[in-house]
Structure 1
Amino acid sequence: MTVTGAEIAGGGQGPPRLWWWERPRSFVFDLALGLLSAVECAVLGARFAGEAGVPVVALVLLGFVAGGLLVVRRRWPIAVVLVAVAILPADMGYSMLVVGLYTLAAFEMPRRVTGVLAGMSGLGVFVVTVVRLNHLRDDPTSQPDWVVWLIAGLMSVGMIAPPLLLGMYAGARRRLVESLRERADGLERELSLLAERAEERAEWARSEERTRIAREMHDVVAYRVSLMVVHAAALEAVAVRDPQQAVRNAALVGDMGRQALTELREMLGVLRTGDGGRAVPAVRAAAPSVVREAPLAARPAAADGGLVAVGAVRGAEADGHGPCLDELDALVGECRVSGMAVELSVDGESATYAAEVEQTVYRVVQEALTNVHKHAPGAKVQVRLAHRGTEVAVLVLNGPADGVAANADLPSGGNGLIGMKERVTALGGGCVWGTTDAGGFKVSAVLPASGTRG
């Protein structure tokens, strides 16, 4: 039976292997052991040859070759032990036997094989010791036989047990070190994998945050700017023939521009501080002062057309909350002032929903109305809000453009509907849109009341 290089103590990742040695120093160490064993066996063989009357050269050569086999102890430890047991009767090979038993116990050899070879070695040492003691006694009757057996037994145990125990300890220690090394390598790989996953999650979070910011910026800017463009076009059309109407339209454009700037300041304040709870109220507090500075001509127009003042529209945001369902009336009123025919209907009993649900419903209606401004000027619009207990639904339906209202030629990036669907889906709801048989367009969304995130 052989022992592979992977079973040798201290197998590392250092210099290149030399045959079955893991490191060059192991080769040098075994070579030195083999040379010492060969010299010892040759000297003991020469002494035994003189006592036994055997040719000295033959035993010296036998001892040198047999002792030199200790060089291959890592490769063939069983063969080394067997050769050592075989040359014990010639009174040589003791050191070879000790080292061979140590190597046998230290390496991953079957315990049964190690036990058999240890028993053979112990018996061989016992027999050879008894024979030597009987041969050295001048008077065999001077000492009882049990004394000889006791000395031989102690000699056998003293030569066999220590190397076996030391080898088993070294093997167990090596296996423990290898296990700890493998565990450390595994932990290092796991840490590297966790670091890679953390980087991936961070990149995903950055991407999600960029998408969210882009969606918020679109919701804040697109609607207000669209209305500003519509009113600017109307202002251009009536500036000469109806100066009073032109003044009212100019006032509305100014109001809407101030609202857009206020909302932008709120968002930029959050981005700068990273804590919307502290930054936003301070910035939102500027909204009422902006309203007070609005031209007086804007207020009669708002009253005639149902437009609620800017401070009322943004009142819910002044206390730290985003748009809510109560602000839909104001949103519809703004659109009516711009000339859009909008009808708002509410079904079911009003309920309290999560803040993000109400804000998302508001943004869905806002985006749908913005698209009507862009793509269907003059179209009639129906906004239907339904309270269904565990969920809230909204439908925005518009007919085709009437062909009379001027097209404001507003640009479209195609991101509004996508962002709207992302908002709704993130809260566990559903959102669909598409054209109608009458040539119009409809947007529908359903959200759970609790706003459970999917």
Structure 2
Amino acid sequence: MPPAERLVRDRHFAYDLTLCALVTLVALGYTLAVGERALGMASLVITLPLLVRRTFPAAALAVMTGGCLLALAVSSVPSAAGIISVPVLVYTLARWSGRTLARLAWAVAVVGSFLGPARWALRGPAISDITVFLVSVVACFAVVSAAHVVGRKLRESEDSASRQERSEAERVRLLESEQEQRARAATVDERNRIARELHDIVAHSLSVIVVQAEGGRALAARHPERAGEVLGTIAETGREALTETRRILGVLREGREGSAEYGPQPGLADIADLVQRTSDRFELTTFGTAPPLAPAVGLTAYRVVQESLTNVLKHAGPGARARVVLACTADAVEIEVTDDGGTASVPDGQGHGLRGMAERVSLHEGELTAGPGPVGGFVVRARIPYERQADRSDTLPLPQAVSW
């Protein structure tokens, strides 16, 4: 048994022992005053069950009932032990026992409330004083009923408090479970975001490297002195891909969340450099001036252009030409990437690139369409609504129309 429960049990036993001793002293004093030894023996039988009223309630009720019947049989005067002990036992059973046993104890006490006064008022063949009898019955009934009601009310109050505690514990458990599910969902979202970033970076960089390598091989045969430029472009693209990959994966290193180095995210202003580095057959045209934008909008626009150009390199062939149109309207950034088809097949849309672009744009409640062009090639159109930054008042000028 745990120490706390043992302490409570010992404390309750000390209370019951003290109560039993006090009632016994009162009963013996009353018995000596009236001069009936048989009533004293019956009083001991009535008071002793108080010692086990918590641990063995049914046995205590049976023994006390027998003691009260014995007192009625051997004496015609009221039993002080019964007057005190019976309400105490009725209260105890109503407070800590089951409903059935509590009601049984109350019913027995109600019967005793009639039998006791009838025995005390009985003088010879008839009741000597009907008024004393009625007053005694009402008083005894009121005492035992009050003890039962008080005990049940306290029991119900404790049960209600216990149910409330269990309900609160369940609510806390559900809240913790909900928070845990939200944390898992946030983790999954973060992993998906990182997967999209890695896909965009690696796919674009490798496509550029492959195109530059193939072009460099042909260029080295005709103009060996220019091979160094191609190799430099390949090296620069590889370094940039490694830098961005390290930056994104740094957050996944255990224990380094606070120390991961984050570089600035690319945005609208970086699209011109992206087009320039990707291929000399790609053209960029811009319209309008972008207002202050949330970084996520600029990053989404950058990734849409990046993935679209990657698809041109992968599916339209090294000789394909592409045109990027970037327009800032009153409420959105609009992007159109068109290629002439080159010598390769049109993408089938079964890869992760188009799906990733659509997911990015949908996060901003935008729209993205992709499909074959009216005269061949492939067209990607995206519309990304603005999410403006309130803490900036300057405008972000777009690069002027450039053809590479």
TM-score scaled by length of structure 1: 0.59
Q: For each residue in 1:100-154, what CA deviation from the matched residue of structure 2 results, as whole angstroms up to 9, or x when unmatched? A: 9769977879xxxxx99999987776666555499697xxxxxxx7xx83x5465
After TM superposition, the structure 1 stretch with the greater mean CA deviation from structure 2, 37-46 or 413-422, is 37-46
Query: 1:289-310: per-residue Cα shift (whole Å, max 9, x none)?
Result: xxxxxxxxxxxxxxxxxxxxxx
1:361 aligns with 2:344: no
2:297·2:387 contact (CA, 8 Å) conserved in 1? Answer: yes
Does structure 2 conserve the Cα–Cα contact (< 8 Å) formed by 1:342 and 1:381?
yes
Equivalences, count? 322
Contact 2:338/2:379 (CA < 8 Å) preserved in 1? Answer: yes
Give the direction of change, closer, same or farther, for the CA distance of 1:129–1:433 in structure 2 (3 Å limit). same
Q: How does 1:439-450 map to 2 (within 5 A)?
A: 439-450=376-387
| CA distances 1:339-376 after superposition (whole Å, capped 9, x unpaired) | xx323222334433222111110110011001100000
Q: How does 1:321-340 map to 2 (within 5 A)?
A: 321-337=264-280
TM-superposed deviation, 1:262: 2.6
Match of 1:200 among 167, 177, 181: 181
Residue 283 of structure 1 corresponds to none
Partner deviation per Cα, 1:3-40 (whole Å, 9 max, x = no partner) = xxxxxxxxxxxxxxxxxxxxxx9996424533553465
Identify the residue that residue 34 of structure 1 maps to in structure 2: 62
Relative contact order, higher structure (CA 8 A, sep 6+): 2
Alpha-carbon shift at residue 415 of structure 1 (Å) = 2.1
Q: Give yes or no for the alignment of 1:348 onto 2:283.
A: no
* Structure 1 residues 100 and 156: CA distance shift in structure 2, 3 A: farther
Offset of residue 162 of structure 1: 2.3
Give the 5 Å matches for 1:379-398: 379-398=320-339
Q: Distance in 1 between matches of 2:228 and 2:83?
A: 118
The CA distance in 1 between the partners of 2:61 and 2:216, in whole Å, is: 106
Instruction: Label 1:94 to 1:375 Cα distance change in 2 as closer, same or farther (>3 A).
Output: same
* Residue among 145, 150, 156 paired with 1:175: 156
Cα pair 2:207 2:314 within 8 Å, conserved: yes
- Which amino acid in structure 1 is aligned with residue 218 of structure 2? A
Q: Give me the whole-angstrom Cα distance separating, in 2, the residues matched to 1:185 and 1:235.
A: 73
Report the 3-state secondary structure (helix = DSSP H, G, I; strand = E; otherwise coil) of the residue aligned with 2:148: helix
Structure 2 partner of 1:417: 354
Structure 1 residue runs without a partner (length 5+) = 1-24, 49-92, 110-114, 138-144, 281-319
Q: Deviation per CA, 1:384-443, whole angstroms, max 9, x where unpaired?
A: 11211111111112121246xxx9xxxx99222222222212222222212234332121
Q: Give the 3 Å change call, closer, same or farther, for CA 105–370 of structure 1 in structure 2.
A: closer
Change (3 A) 1:36 1:164: closer
Unpaired stretches in structure 2, ≥5 consecutive residues:
1-52, 77-81, 101-105, 390-404
- Between the aligned partners of 2:121 and 2:68, the Cα distance in structure 1 is 22
Task: Describe the shift of the 1:369–1:31 C-alpha distance in structure 2 as closer, same or farther (beyond 3 A).
Answer: same
Change (3 A) 1:334 1:265: same
What is aligned with 2:207?
226
Assess, with a 3 A threshold, how the Cα gap between structure 1 residues 416 and 36 changes in structure 2: closer, same or farther.
same
Q: CA RMSD, aligned part only?
A: 4.2
Query: Which residue number corresponds to residue 289 of structure 1?
Result: none
| Residues 212 and 37 of structure 1, relative CA distance in 2, 3 Å threshold | same
State how far apart, in whole Å, the 2-side matches of 1:350 and 1:32 are. 88
- 2:244 matches 1:263: yes
- Return the offset for 1:257: 1.9
Question: Are the counterparts in 2 of residues 363 and 420 from structure 1 also a CA contact under 8 Å?
Answer: yes
Q: Deviations over 1:31-61 (max 9, x none)?
A: 453355346536745889xxxxxxxxxxxxx
What SS does structure 2 have at the residue aligned with 1:433?
Answer: strand
Once residues 355 and 36 of structure 1 are traced to their aligned partners in structure 2, the CA distance between those partners, rounded to angstroms, is: 83
Distance in 2 between the 1:399 and 1:172 partners? 86
CA–CA distance in 2 between the matches of 1:218 and 1:451?
Answer: 27
Aligned 8 A contact 1:385 1:392 in 2:
yes
Q: Does structure 2 conserve the Cα–Cα contact (< 8 Å) formed by 1:356 and 1:451? A: no
Deviations 1:196-254 (Å, cap 9, x if unpaired)? 32332222222212111111112222212211111111122232332023222122212
